[in-house]
A and B are shown apart, each in its own frame.
Chain A
Amino acid sequence: MALTIILNPITLMLLTSSFIAILIALITIIFKAVAKKEGSMSEDAIVMYIGGEHESILTLKFPSSDALYWAVLKRVFRNVYNYLINSLHTGNVLDWLRYMSMWYGFLMTLAIMVSILVVLYGW
């Protein structure tokens, strides 16, 4: 015959938690009584299994701040590089001339402006 006990929820919570504690103790005792540890602790046994890799591979998990810096720079300058390649190396000499004269024009304008300012206001 079954024994039915009606409790309040808090008492039931405490009772079930104490039952769990008893079972944890029992299972831990069984483990301590029967479990056998691998005797020889070779180097292979004490390192974690990472698909055959050495533990040092985990240092690659987080990129260093230098790597992060260069990654950003590369990403930014890849666009500049692509722009230059697409502007200069089209195979058409006129494109090259247009690009170079644009830059030279810009530099000449800048040099003239700086020269005028130096003449007017001194160094």
Chain B
Amino acid sequence: MEIATMIGYALLSLFIFPGLAALSAISLFTEWFVRKSVARMQNRMGPAYVGPIGLLQPFADFFKLLLVKRYVEQRYSSPLLAVMGAAIGIGALTVTLLLFPISPLRLIASYDVIIFIYLTILWPFLSLIIISLAWPNPFVIAGVSRAIALAIVTEPTLVASILVPMNIIARKYSQLPPYSVYYTSIAVSRLWTGINIDMGSYIITLILLAISIIASIIAIQSKVMLKPFDIPEAEQELIAGFATEFSGPVYAFFRLFHDMEITVLVLAIVYIFLGGPAPFNHLSVEGILTLLAKYIVVLFIVSLIRGAFGRFRIDQAINKIIKYALIPSVIALIISFVI
């Protein structure tokens, strides 16, 4: 393969699809969906004015913050550091998509789940801390300390639940490169359909997959700090937590980063647990519609939880995550080694 072709694929995947441009658009659509669905649950209108049924409202908000609003500095702030912090998160989440089958340039390696963890769990979290501490404030410090407290139980939950389908596939299909995001996404649909698996093993596999999906949705809810795990930005007591001092373009990039985190993690569930467009392929109308339907269903569940729950205190949140997500996902992971 010519080097120019590879660079072309890399540029296309990094900047256009599923890179920065497409991921930004999908993320802003995701924000619209979450806002609109939660608003309907709470008997409100939600975004309604810009675009059909308010579809372009997040785009208008983003470009207004980026191009029209000005950012206000304070004595200890470092806007450039804050934006670079957001850029680290946006960059890491964008590059994550190159590990999935959705990308024209697919980067694959055995055990690339480590790189997935590095890109979606480590960097976005460090990015959040860098952004926050670039604009120091007592509310920010309190918000970050709560976010760190939540991360101690959230991140292991996410890792354990993602490893469950990877582990099952690595044991059942030993001819495939093990613990690869790409091959797991391709092969996971066979676990759901039960091809070449005996009935007892099939039922246990389904139970393990169901447990790990529930655990991962709870972990995502906590990681992106949606209700009931939004105590790090509890506005009644912490103003806006780590986002207290953000304004203008800095806030625009921070919001985009936050939306991208929801998008990439929901896409990760759709691919790693549900097989993406399976049983169809990407380049078919049925495949695209199936992928979209799975994405919207998972996103709706996330929105439903956000709309249905009140806020947990930090100790309640940690207890609930340990009880309903961390322990089940670790047990599922241990069982997946045994079957």
Contacts and interface: CB of A to CB of B under 8 A. Distances in A.
B53 interface: no
B74 interface: yes
A53 to B, nearest CB: 9
A109 B15 CA distance: 93
Nearest to B83: A31
A49 B101 CA distance: 45
A20 interface: yes
Interface stretch (B198-206, B223-231, B244-252, B299-307): B244-252
Interface residues of B, number: 60
Contact of B245 (A5, A23, A49): A49
A9 B116 CA distance: 11
B73 A20 contact: no
A21 B87 CA distance: 9
A85 interface: no
A3 B108 CA distance: 11
A23 B127 CA distance: 14
Contacts of A76: none
Interface string B100-115: 0101111111111011
Interface in B57-76: 66-67, 70-76
Contact of B87 (A27, A37, A39): A27
Interface in B1-52: 1, 5-6, 9-10, 14-15, 20
Contacts of A11: 109
A20 B92 contact: yes
Contact of B106 (A5, A19, A46): A5
B137 interface: yes
B83 to A, nearest CB: 4
Interface string B111-127: 11011001100010000
Interface of B: 1, 5-6, 9-10, 14-15, 20, 66-67, 70-76, 79-80, 83-84, 86-88, 90-92, 94-95, 98, 101, 103-112, 114-115, 118-119, 123, 136-139, 177, 182, 239, 244-245, 247-250, 253
Given A51-B239, A58-B138, 4 more contacts: A6-B109, A19-B98, A46-B73, A51-B139
